[in-house]
């Protein structure tokens, strides 16, 4: 079966590699997702909790591989390139789910706390926008963040506005909070259209590798 997605994506400072059970060491990722320093801060505003068993990590990897095989989305492990502090280490993961009927890719991203503050979020977003718009001909890239996640909202607003998009508004009771007994929470949604991207392309060098 043909693969719509590149094997790896390289940017100025990052290398995005396949996220799957045959590509990532389960126990290495389990150590990060269960007990990495700052993991509670990392998972405070995302859709998953710290992993309790290696089986949970394996299922996470299998789910990512299944979505890719079904062409419903793609996820990568994020590794800083040579010259960066922590080069070659797993810094986090990045993914994009695709609704082909709506021609929309929705992005998701998390980083280990020691890699915060480097501007990797915007660089990863530029890579996924290049993938969505230039390769997959998607019409819209969307990102959501919990209303009270100020750090992510600042970062997302910055990189979506840089490409001509920005905040659309507040989606009430949009997401169920896994960390709070499934209570509904409000999210801000941001987006960039293909037309906006074409008028405001990235200055990040993005390379797809098959």
Identify the residue with better confidence: 180 or 164. Answer: 164
Identify the residue with better confidence: 184 or 5. Answer: 5
pTM score, two decimals? 0.94
pLDDT of residue 1: 41
Give the mean model confidence (pLDDT) for residues 64-68: 97
Residues 6+ apart with CB under 8 A from 35: 50
pLDDT tens readout for residues 171-187:
999 877 655 567 888 99
Give the mean model confidence (pLDDT) for residues 5-13: 97
pLDDT tens readout for residues 19-33:
999 999 999 999 999
Sheet holding 14-18, edge to edge: 166-177, 183-193, 140-146, 104-111, 92-99, 73-80, 14-18, 8-10, 207-209
pLDDT of residue 80: 98
pLDDT of residue 2: 59
CA torsion sign for 150, 155, 160, 161 is positive
Q: What is the DSSP string of 143-168?
A: EEEETT-HHHHHHHHHHHHHTT-EEE
Give the mean model confidence (pLDDT) for residues 146-159: 95
Q: How many C-beta atoms surround the C-beta of residue 40 within 10 A?
A: 12
Task: Answer for the pair 73, 67: CB distance below 8 angstroms, yes or no.
Answer: yes
pLDDT of residue 181: 64
Question: Whole-angstrom Cα distance, residue 131 to residue 50?
Answer: 29
pLDDT of residue 134: 97
Task: Answer for the pair 8, 68: CB distance below 8 angstroms, yes or no.
Answer: no
Six-digit token string for 113: 């706390």
């Amino acid at each position: 079966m043909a693969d719509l997605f590149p094997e790896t994506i390289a940017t100025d400072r990052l290398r995005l590699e396949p996220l799957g059970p045959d590509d990532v060491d389960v126990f290495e990722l389990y150590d990060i997702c269960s007990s990495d320093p700052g993991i509670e801060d990392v998972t405070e505003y995302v859709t998953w909790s710290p992993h309790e068993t290696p089986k949970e990590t394996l299922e996470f990897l299998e789910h990512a591989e299944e979505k890719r095989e079904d062409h419903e989305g793609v996820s990568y492990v994020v590794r800083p390139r040579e010259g960066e502090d922590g080069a070659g280490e797993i810094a986090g993961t990045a993914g994009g789910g695709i609704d082909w009927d709506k021609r929309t890719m929705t992005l998701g991203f998390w980083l280990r706390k020691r890699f915060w503050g480097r501007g990797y979020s915007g660089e990863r977003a530029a890579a996924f926008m290049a993938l969505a718009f230039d390769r997959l001909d998607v019409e819209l890239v969307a990102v959501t963040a919990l209303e009270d996640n100020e750090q992510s909202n600042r970062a997302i607003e910055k990189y979506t506005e840089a490409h001509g998009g920005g905040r659309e508004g507040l989606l009430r009771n949009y997401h169920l909070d896994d960390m709070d007994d499934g209570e509904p929470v409000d999210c801000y949604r941001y987006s960039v259209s293909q037309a906006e991207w074409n008028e405001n392309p990235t200055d990040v060098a993005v390379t797809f590798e098959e």
